[in-house]
Amino acid sequence: MRSYSMRDVQRVLRLSPDTTRNLIKAGFVKPARGARHEYRFSFQDLIVLRTARALIDARIPARRIRRSLESLRRELPESVPLSGLSISAVGDHVVVRDGDSQRQVDSGQYLLGLDISMENGVLRVVEHRELAPPAPAPTALPGDWFAQALSLESTDPQAALAAWRHAVDADAGNTAAWTNLGRLLHEQGLTTQAAEIYRRALAQVGPDALLLFNQGVLLEDLGNSSAALAAYQGALAEDPDLADCHYNLARLYESLGEAQHAIRHLGQYRRLLSGDGR
């Protein structure tokens, strides 16, 4: 059965690596690992990833998203059928169509249609958005703050920050919520608050590759190279195949005049990229 790399996900689905990793951390997909420990996604994983992002953008509550995705995965074939595949909304139901057959997946408003086909061995996913505006977001339950925060980031960063704070308050063990809160604070220039969030997160959930990586980026921006090095090294101790971390270490070591370390990490970065592209 064919598998797809992180680069394929970005090319076919137009999902950034950070978005994909966040969806993995949220538990929406559980991709396999390749020979170099890189993520390898099945056809089903790709469709579930894209559907998860669409449901989040539509502000569907997290518990309904999980229920819909579990049902969707059960209905999806292992590969693209010759007749193609479409996922769309009929009334308030998510429906999978395979040729002439039609199967209801789950109830709940869904604002995205996907046409999926394989042309000359290349997977194509075409998106068709409906004209109807999304329904207003419901009052969030504790488990819904994560989904609301993701949907608000591109349109209302301040509201997204508030939602991320609610998310970590509701579930202090949610590593992805801590990571996103720290990242968004950093992006908004609130570096002191971001540093405190990373400190609290690591104390709460323990070492985590993405938390430590983001902390390293922040520490670099604050001019604390030695602390940034320690954070990056800690990230690689948790996930030796975090390619971006090898790249940042290579660059940081080069700026510090540590050419041998810089070359080693740059080489590892290139090997990981090559492995992802197989």
Neighbouring C-beta atoms of residue 112, cutoff 10 Å: 19
Where does the pLDDT of residue 43 fall: very low under 50, low under 70, confident under 90, or very high at 90 and above? confident
Q: Cα separation of 191 and 168, whole Å?
A: 18
Architecture of domain 6-129: Orthogonal Bundle (1.10)
Q: Residue 13 corresponds to which tokens in the numbers above?
A: 């689905």
Where does the pLDDT of residue 79 fall: very low under 50, low under 70, confident under 90, or very high at 90 and above? low
> Would the pLDDT of 117 be above 80?
no
Backbone angles phi, psi at 33, to 5 degrees: -115, 140
Please report the sign of the dihedral spanned by the C-alpha atoms of residue 30, residue 276, residue 15, residue 196. Answer: positive
Q: Say whether pTM exceeds 0.85.
A: no
Domain ranges of the chain: 6-129, 146-276
Architecture of domain 146-276: Alpha Horseshoe (1.25)
- Average the pLDDT over 34-63 and give the result: 76
Q: Cα separation of 211 and 178, whole Å?
A: 8
Where does the pLDDT of residue 141 fall: very low under 50, low under 70, confident under 90, or very high at 90 and above? very low
> Would the pLDDT of 142 be above 60?
no
**Which candidate, 113, 41, 55, places its Cα nearest to that of 84?**
113
Which SS3 state, helix, strand or coil, does residue 67 take?
Answer: helix
Yes or no: say if 111 and 130 are a contact pair by the CB < 8 Å rule.
Answer: yes
> Percent of the chain at pLDDT above 70?
67
Taking only the tens place, the pLDDT of each residue in 212-261 is 999 999 999 898 999 999 999 999 999 898 888 999 999 999 998 999 99
> Would the pLDDT of 12 be above 80?
no
CA 108 to chain centre: 23
- Average the pLDDT over 151-176 and give the result: 86
